[in-house]
Chain A
Amino acid sequence: MPAEPRFSAPARVADGTNGSAHAAVALTGVTKQFGKITALDAVSLFVRHGELMTLLGPSGCGKTTLLHLVAGFLIPESGEIAIDGQRITDVPAYRREIGIMFQNYALFPHMSVAGNVGYGLRMRRIARPEIDRRIADALALVKLAGLEERRPRQLSGGQQQRVALARALVIRPKVLLLDEPFSALDRNLRASMQVELKEIQRKLGVTTIFVTHDQSEALSLSDRIAVIADGRIRQLNTPHEVYRHPSDRFVASFIGDANVLRAHLERIEGAVASVALGAARVTVPMRTLEGSAVGSAVDLFVRPEDLRVAETDAAAAAHGTIAAQIYQGGHIDLYVDAPEVSSGRVLLRVPSHEAASLRPAGTRIAIALAADVAIAFRSA
């Protein structure tokens, strides 16, 4: 009989979705300053039980500071932090029951794999047989059984990461914190580790906060994404919502590729508006266009996959000249110079099977909108 890892998933609260009382991790009005710099400005964030919440933002946005506040490495100037409804704002890190995985893994170089994984258990003064059993279970979970006596420096990058994950999980943490864990891995390994991490996280049901600056990583792994910039949460929602309905200009341009096209506001109909781009019309929400008058210029944000090469000029949004075609396997990235709508190059993402009929660089084409809904912002 294969040794089944004996991890107990924490009980899910019936509906721990809203409010600080039932959130797995609750930050309320948390402010953190370093000297005169405000790293986090009155941030409130509620993480649900068992969810994988990503903190996504450019470097220096405050996402790592937030993680360190939850871990207890930093104490906020104001605001409260609670885990499972218990206030832990000034509880030191070593009493918080938190598992953390660092960017460089921070495996203790003077201890073996088993020594590293068992460290948290020894600190809890757990009996030796139990420690050995839990080390074996944790290493089985991350598929490293048999490497107990190795030293961290004798392991590959991927193996070191697994040890770090096992070390963080073996203490059955209330919350798992991941600080840019994949950035040191090469591309192929990164993808497979991401899948594996997601599986383990689901299996254990452990509430996880994941910090990254890589938007594609955030989109593929998260249950919800908190987009952070300048010490504030700009948007908090599911990957699909954040990608499809960005709350502001920053989120729209930070997540995924976006073409910013010069268009104008044609008609306002309550909460939505119609925007004209060449001969094409597209519906956009009015909330991001507060105060814009009919006829004014707006910046239309269009995802590359929402543009296509037009067969006829009838519904052409713009005309342009193909500058470059980049074959990406499943799709082709088409860079088009279209000076009437964009000062930069417009990016079209076309499925490869449609690309057979495409013409070489220098060909003039008409661009059409493949979607009838988009998002627009007032011209900057």
Chain B
Amino acid sequence: MARASVRSGRAAVRPFLRLFVAPAVLCALGFAAALAAVMQYSLRAYVPGSLEAGGFTLANFAALIRPLYARVFLDTVWICFLTASFTLIVGYPLAYALVHARNVALKSAILVIAVTPLFLGEVVRTYSWIVVLGNNGFLNSMLLKLGLVDAPMQFMFTEFGVITALVHVTLPVMVIMLAAALSHIDRDYERAAASLGAGPIRVFLTVTLPLSTPGIIAGVTTAFAWTFSAFATPQLIGGGRVNMVANLVYQLGFASFNFPFAASLSVAGLILTFAVLALMRAAASPLERIRQH
């Protein structure tokens, strides 16, 4: 009797739970199946000249430590690290201004600058960076006109070019996450600090910045993971000279048709992403409760 009433009580609280959860479960099953397929492939042997994979082997993973591939992994982590850092440096002032601006025009200008890149495809954004970074591009013609350089500088096919474009691609996510964190900081904290004698810079350093650390951690980890899977930007701007994991996977899978090795690269990339994110979380955990005293 009592049990029945508990049941009916639950049903009344969440009557459509099963109905609503069903699509999510289907999606999750699909993803899990795809992931299982990739994992299964990563453990199969490559049969040259055939699209069919051979028997089970660990040789693919053993090959990963060869300098040629290990190098790409290290480069990718380094590019992701730099991209996440620069995105944070560029994104924080934008997010801060977005949250604190009283002027509506300024607010919408920041929002447009920060968020519209989301609505353009990655390929479109990357092509526009080619226009800016090319040897006859906007940046070089400016530098030449201003007399800062004698000959065009090489931006295309460099790590600098790739990271610049990646920062632009990643910026909207960072700004949105930081703005969300900053807007949740009660203005009374900053007012209290000011009343106690802290000037604007000290208010920022001792109150606003520490209270926004959850947003910074979330933004940086997301930017890192987001960049790790970048493909179009390093492909087009790196032009084969700056390779990230996704480009290597593409070359092996669709140029060499070595599906098993491409799969093991993907799996390794996934594991590496998780490892780096876990490391970042661990390193940031003392930051989450900064002690001031």
Contacts and interface: CB of A to CB of B under 8 A. Distances in A.
A94 B195 contact: yes
A92 B198 CA distance: 10
Contacts of B14: none
Given A100-B192, A102-B191, A106-B189, A94 B291 contact: no
Interface string A111-141: 1101100111001100000000000000000
A133 to B, nearest CB: 15
B99 interface: no
Contact of A124 (B197, B207, B292, B293): B197
B194 interface: yes
A171 B188 contact: no
B189 to A, nearest CB: 5
Contacts of B186: 104, 106
Given A104-B188, A106-B188, A123-B202, A111 B195 contact: no
B253 interface: no
Contacts of A168: 195
Interface residues of B, number: 23
By secondary structure, the B interface counts as helix
A171 B207 CA distance: 18
A100 B195 contact: yes
B197 A94 contact: yes
Contacts of A115: 291-293
B135 to A, nearest CB: 50
A110 interface: yes
Interface in B236-293: 289-293
Name, among A72, A100, A124, the residue most crowded by chain B CB atoms within 10 Å (CB to CB): A100
A94 B199 contact: yes
Name, among B186, B202, B206, the residue most crowded by chain A CB atoms within 10 Å (CB to CB): B206
B289 to A, nearest CB: 6
B211 interface: yes
A124 B211 CA distance: 22
B199 A108 contact: no
A140 B189 CA distance: 24
A318 interface: no
A147 to B, nearest CB: 13
Contacts of A92: 194, 199
Contacts of A114: 293
Interface of B: 186, 188-189, 191-199, 202-203, 206-207, 210-211, 289-293
Top 4 A-B pairs ranked by shortest CB distance?
Answer: A120-B196, A115-B293, A123-B197, A106-B188
28 contacts: A73-B191, A92-B194, A93-B191, A93-B194, A94-B194, A94-B195, A94-B203, A95-B197, A96-B195, A100-B191, A102-B188, A104-B186, A104-B188, A106-B188, A108-B193, A110-B210, A110-B291, A110-B292, A111-B293, A115-B292, A115-B293, A118-B293, A119-B193, A119-B196, A120-B197, A123-B196, A123-B202, A167-B192
Given A167-B192, A167-B196, A177-B195, 6 more contacts: A102-B188, A104-B186, A106-B186, A110-B291, A115-B291, A171-B197
